[in-house]
Amino acid sequence: MSSLSRLLFSRPTALTMVLVIAVLFTLVITGPRPAPLVSPPVQHLSEPAAVQVVAALARSPEAADQIVAAGQAHRSDGMWFVTVNSAHFRFRETTRLVVPEDEPAAALLLGPSPSP
C-alpha cells in the first residue's frame, strides 16, 4: 500500500474525515435537483360553453332552451357573467358553481314557484 492510502485508510484521521465530508457535501450540492412545480394550464371556456354551464342547471327543458337561445356571456378575471334577458348569473371558471344574482335568474333556473 502506498503511504497516501495507508495514511487515509489505516485509521480515521482528521484528514480522512475532512475528505469524506467534502465528498459528501459536493455530492449533495451538485446532485440532481427536482423539477420545478409547474401548474397545468387552465383551459378557458368559450362563451357558448359558459352559457351551457348555466343551462345545464335549469330544471325544465324550456328554461334551458331559453338560456341557450338568449344567453350572453362575458369573462372577467376568471369569473363568467351570463345574462339572459333580465336574469343575471355568475360563476368562477375553476369551480363552475353557478350563482343566480337576482330574482329573475332564480326563477329561470328553478321554474315557477308553486301556488299556495
Q: 51 and 10: one domain?
A: no
Helices (H), 10-98: 14-30, 47-55, 61-70
How many domains, in total, are found in the chain? 2
Give the pLDDT score at 9. Answer: 61
pLDDT at 66: 94
Query: What pLDDT is stored for residue 55 in this prediction?
Result: 95
Give the whole-angstrom CA distance, residue 43 versus residue 40: 9
> Do 68 and 94 lie in a common domain?
yes
| Residue 103 and residue 67 share a domain | yes
Local mean pLDDT, 10-residue blocks, the chain (116 residues): 61 73 84 78 86 94 94 93 96 92 93 63
Q: Same structural domain for residues 27 and 60?
A: no
Whether residues 54 and 98 share a domain: the answer is yes
Domain extent at residue 6? 1-33
- Is the same domain home to 105 and 54? yes
Residues 17 and 71 in one domain: no
Cβ contact 22:71 at 8 Å: no
Residue 30: the pLDDT is 83
Residue 116 lies in a domain: no
Q: Is residue 94 part of a domain?
A: yes
